[in-house]
Amino acid sequence: MVVHKRCHEKVVCKCTGNGVEENSGDAGDAALGRFNIDLPHHFDAHFYTRPTFCDHCGSLLYGLSHQGLQCSCCKMNVHKRCQHNAIHNCGINTKEIGAALANLGLTGNRMNARYTKKVRGTQNKKILEQFSSDKNFL
């Protein structure tokens, strides 16, 4: 997935192609805090009428016909070569999840128990109640 350098801490999903086991020591500690969302995309071949960029690698989808694949549910656009590396987060609004985590004082890569001790209290309950009542969350 392509993200800005300043936005990498706001990513809430694990990378599907990083090859890091969750129990593999220091390298796995970074993956432990991420959400375990597993909603695969349903990609179909698509013909684009205007320049479109891959939502996984960020490069242009090129060709004369059927330049890439588009998810029939969430409209994610990817190359055929990027299809297997796309994050399984179909239909999830990751911007809202990231904003809610920021309100709780958390980032996408620091959500496990040792970091949540700082933010417990009544303010969390109010934010979580508001967040869970929002119908646009999923």
Handedness of CA 58, 90, 33, 103 (dihedral sign): positive
pLDDT of residue 129 exceeding 90, the answer is no
46, β-bridge pairs = 68
Question: What does DSSP say about strands 77-78 and 43-46: parallel, antiparallel, or unpaired?
Answer: unpaired
69 and 45 Cβ atoms separated by less than 8 Å: yes
Q: Is the pTM of this model over 0.85?
A: no
Sheet holding 68-71, edge to edge: 43-46, 68-71, 77-78
pLDDT digits (tens, 9 = 90+) for 50-91: 999 999 888 999 888 889 999 999 999 999 999 988 888 888
For the chain, domains (ranges, CATH) are: 5-37+92-133 (no CATH), 38-90 (3.30.60.20)
Q: Which residues pair with 89 in a beta bridge?
A: 39
Cα 82 to Cα 84: distance, rounded to the nearest angstrom: 6
Tokens of 52: 């479109």
Identify the band that residue 48 occupies on the pLDDT scale cut at 50, 70 and 90: very high
